[in-house]
Each structure stands twice: as C-alpha cells, then as structure tokens.
C-alpha cells in the first residue's frame, strides 16, 4: 500500500509543472535562452500599473500619519521613514481616490485612512495656513527642507489643496462619515492665507515664508514651471484670494511668458524657465494638471492642451532622435523628468532631466503620467516596462524611480512626487475622474474666470 501511495505521489509531481517540490536548480533554462515576453491587453496593463503604484501610498505610507513618505529605498526601508512630504501627500490622496473609484481599494478602509490623513494635517505645523515642504510624521513638526526653508511652502501646499478639493467633491454627497470628511477637507484648504504670500501686497506670489528667516528665500513664482496650480488655487480661495494682477504681472510676466520657438517643428508656446526655446522636465506638464483639466482650457497666453501635448511630443521626439546617442532610447523607451539620477561616477544622485540636461536616465513617471496627452506612445513605454523588463524595472510599489539602459543601471528606490502622478494621470486618461472633480468645484470655476481662463470642455 505504501509503495502504491509513493507511485501516485511521484506521478502527480512529474505531471504537474507547478509542484511545490520543484527544484529551480534543475530548470533547463540557460543564459542563452531568450526571455519569455508576456503580452497583455491595454486595459490589463493600465490596471496593473495603477494597482502597483497605489502600493506606495497604501502599503508604504508613513506609519503614523498614513501620508506619503518622501522616499522609499527597497534596500534601506528605514531611510527617512518618518519624513512626510506635503505635495507628495496631495498626490497620494488623489491616487487613493482613483483607487476607490476603480475598486482597487475598499471604500470604507480608504475613508478611514483619509480621516487619519486629515486629522494629522489639522494639527501639523502651518505658517499663515501653508504647510511646510516636509513634516515629521510622528508629531507634525516642520522638518527643514533647507536651512532657510523651515516654514511655509506655498507650492507644495497648492498641490495638497488641489487634492483636498477633489476629496471634498468626491465625498460631499456620501454617507454621514464621508460628508464630514469632505467638510474637514474644505476647512483645511480654506485656511491657507494665499494673500500673505504676496510679500506684503506685491503683484506676485512667493514660494516660501519662514518665521525665522521671513522672505529671505525670495523665490518669486514667475514664468513657466510646475507652479500654475498655485495661482489657480490662490485666485479660487474664498477666504484669502489674490488678485488677477498677481497672475498677469507675476506669473505671466505681462505676456513675457510666451515664446514663439519650436523644437522638431513643434511650437514650445511658453518660455520654460531655464530652457528658453526648449522644454523643461515632464513633471511641469503633470503637477498642475492632476486636477486642472487642460482640455479646451485657454487664456490670453495659451491653449493649455496644445501646451502640454506639445511638451510631451517634443520630449518624445527628443528621445527618439537621441542626439546624444544614449543606448536604449527609442520609441518604446523615452521620458525625462526630475528623479533619482546616475552620477558620472556611478553613484546615485538627483537631477531634473530634460533635453538641456540629459544624463541618459529614463524616469518611468515621465511617460506614464503623460498618458492623457499621447496615449499610444505612453502605452509603448508601458509595454516596455511590464512585458519586456518587468523583473528588472518594476518592484514592490510599481516601476522603480529611474534607470539608464546605457549603463545597465537601475535605482531600486521610489519618490512620492514621482510615483504620485502615475495613478491620477492614468485615471484622467481612462475616465477623466480627477479632472471632472476639480473642475466642477465652484471656487475653482470662479477663480479661473477671474484670471481670464475659459474652458470649452467644462463650460467655463
């Protein structure tokens, strides 16, 4: 009988390729065997990358506040474990909203998590209503981002407020608990003193204020970068608004923001700060547009859909043309933006990659967060990641922050501000969820009108 049982067990194991007792050392695959390429539908891939990127904000959140950690290193999880980033937390809130709507996150659990987030923000350090760039997740105290950057950060605050508006709109007609959450989000964003950050009434916004150093950082928000949303939020505030003159004279430089240059016969439209006649890093087409819908959005200076689409198209053409002849660049491997970077000596650094600062480093968020603008080209990159290089380039919380094919280099690290735009922008491509939430907010609509914007898409 025992012999018969042994024969049955052996027969089962031989016939079952997934038998638990299989020894991988006996695998017949050799180094010369080409890797197997998996294939998925577009929808399967979009689900896959969204579910993976959500993990950064769900599984790897700061343990007390449950907001976004500044960074996560897979080889050193304790690194900066309690540093919470304000802007990245805003992106994380929008990521969770998209996750709820997709059914990737249980709604009740997400509401409890978001309640923890808002309770923390309610008691954390604020400086004339603005949160700092970094906070200590254990107690809400400011952590200086630099020696003099130890107070309010208006730009990071605007990224967070963009998310609070979306949260309010998403839950305002929910159950009693959800309506209370929406009301709390409303009160938090209305507490920001945007007018204080005009430095005593100037026609411009300033990025920083510190109770110790006051205005010594002296960073005026002018010209084109990632800060458009800061002016939109400041104009939309029902409690501490800034005037339209601040937008036109400060941000738009009385029309000087416009640039007639072209790259690859594609108009650049705006004068990108530090890259006049060219384009800057791709995050400039992402951070302000997680909620602000560029489709049909115009003012006296630009058509904003053309602006962000052209930015993406120029970046794509640059990588395909590959003037510096980096190995690996092509129509399925493209996208430069700010991220971890490879230093000349092979160590890990940080850099704002763009055509004028190309180090051979590709950052996945650059293409993945551009899905609304050039979906076919972005899908080619997504297939490059998940069908051809998943084992190498995708980790525990989605695509790793950066890689350089030329050097066969990958950093197995994550940054909140990079991972945080992937899910919201892909969701805007798929369902327009966050664009619709933000653009339906009455204060936003009035603020845009006050600044001279119109939106054919949203009837503004």
Q: What tokens appear for 57 in the block?
A: 């904000």
For residue 333, the SS3 value is strand
pLDDT of 316-360, one tens digit each? 999 999 999 999 999 999 999 999 999 999 999 999 999 999 999
pLDDT of 241-250, one tens digit each? 999 999 999 9
pLDDT for res 15: 34
pLDDT for res 126: 98
Q: What tokens appear for 74 in the block?
A: 């897979």
Burial 92-112 (b: 16+ CB within 10 A, else e): bbbbbbbbbbbebbeeeebbe
pLDDT for res 35: 54
Q: Distance between CA 422 and CA 54 in Å, rounded?
A: 9
Percent over 90 (pLDDT), the chain? 92
pLDDT for res 36: 54
Higher pLDDT, 22 or 299: 299
Element (H, E) at 311: helix 304-321
pLDDT for res 38: 81
Question: How large is the C-alpha radius of gyration of the chain?
Answer: 24
The sign of the dihedral angle between the CA atoms of 114, 72, 424, 165 is positive
pLDDT of 181-226, one tens digit each? 999 999 999 999 999 999 999 999 999 999 999 999 999 999 999 9
- What SS3 string covers 128-171? CCECCCEEECCCCCEECCCCCCCCEEHHHHHHHHHHHHHHHHHH
pLDDT of 1-45, one tens digit each? 333 343 333 333 333 333 332 232 323 333 444 555 789 999 999
Mean pLDDT of the 47-52 span:
98
Q: Distance between CA 214 and CA 148 in Å, rounded?
A: 9
Q: Distance between CA 277 and CA 300 in Å, rounded?
A: 20
- What is the DSSP-derived secondary structure letter of residue 395? E
As a dihedral over the C-alpha atoms of residue 237, residue 241, residue 243, residue 248, rounded to 10 degrees, the angle is -50
What is the chain's length? Answer: 460
Pairing type for strands 297-298 and 454-455 reads antiparallel
- What is the DSSP-derived secondary structure letter of residue 17? T
- What is the DSSP-derived secondary structure letter of residue 83? E
Question: How far is C-alpha 365 from the chain's CA centre?
Answer: 7
pLDDT of 87-143, one tens digit each? 999 999 999 999 999 999 999 999 999 999 999 999 999 999 999 999 999 999 999
DSSP letters spanning 228-282: HHHHHHHHH-SSS---HHIIIIIISGGGTTEEEEEETTEEEEE-BTT-TTS---G
pLDDT of 264-296, one tens digit each? 999 999 999 999 999 999 999 999 999 999 999
């Amino acid at each position: 009988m025992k012999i018969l049982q042994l024969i049955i067990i052996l027969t089962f194991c031989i016939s079952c390729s997934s038998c638990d007792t299989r020894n991988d050392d006996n695998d017949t695959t050799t180094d010369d065997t080409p890797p197997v390429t998996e294939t998925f539908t577009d929808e399967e891939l979009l689900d896959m990358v969204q579910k993976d990127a959500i993990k950064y904000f769900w599984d790897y959140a700061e343990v007390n506040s449950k907001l976004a950690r500044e960074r996560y290193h897979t080889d050193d999880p304790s690194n900066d474990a309690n540093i919470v980033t304000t802007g990245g937390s805003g992106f994380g809130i929008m990521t969770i909203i998209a996750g709820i709507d997709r059914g990737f996150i249980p709604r009740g659990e997400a509401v409890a998590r978001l309640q923890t987030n808002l309770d923390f923000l309610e008691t954390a350090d604020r400086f004339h209503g603005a949160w700092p760039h970094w906070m200590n997740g254990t107690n809400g105290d400011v952590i200086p981002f630099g020696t003099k950057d130890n107070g309010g950060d208006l730009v990071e605050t605007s990224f967070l407020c963009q998310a609070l508006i979306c949260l309010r709109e998403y839950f305002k007609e929910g159950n009693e608990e959800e309506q209370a959450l929406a009301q709390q989000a409303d009160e938090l964003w209305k507490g920001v003193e945007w007018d204080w950050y005009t430095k005593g009434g100037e026609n411009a916004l300033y990025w920083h204020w510190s109770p110790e150093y006051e205005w010594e950082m002296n960073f005026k928000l002018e010209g084109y970068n990632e800060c458009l949303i800061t002016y939109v939020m400041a104009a939309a505030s029902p409690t501490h608004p800034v005037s339209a003159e601040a937008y036109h004279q400060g941000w738009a430089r009385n029309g000087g923001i416009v640039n007639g240059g072209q790259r690859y016969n594609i108009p650049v439209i705006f004068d990108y700060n530090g890259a006049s006649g060219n384009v800057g890093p791709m995050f400039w087409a992402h951070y302000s547009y997680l909620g602000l819908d560029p489709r049909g959005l115009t003012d006296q200076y630009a058509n904003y859909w053309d602006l962000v689409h052209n930015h993406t198209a120029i970046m794509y053409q640059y990588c395909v043309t590959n003037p510096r002849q980096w190995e690996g660049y092509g129509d399925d491997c493209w996208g430069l933006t700010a991220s971890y970077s490879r230093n000349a000596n092979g160590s890990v650094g940080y850099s704002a990659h763009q055509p004028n600062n190309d180090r051979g480093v590709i950052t996945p968020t650059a293409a993945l967060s551009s899905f609304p603008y050039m979906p076919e080209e972005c899908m080619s990159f997504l297939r490059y990641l998940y069908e051809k290089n998943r084992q190498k380039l995708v980790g525990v919380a989605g695509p790793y922050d950066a890689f350089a094919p030329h050097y066969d280099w990958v950093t197995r690290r994550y940054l909140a501000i990079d991972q945080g735009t992937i899910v919201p922008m892909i969701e805007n491509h798929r369902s327009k969820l966050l664009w619709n939430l933000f653009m339906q907010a009455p204060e936003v609509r009035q603020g845009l009108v006050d600044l001279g914007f119109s939106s054919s898409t949203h009837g503004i």
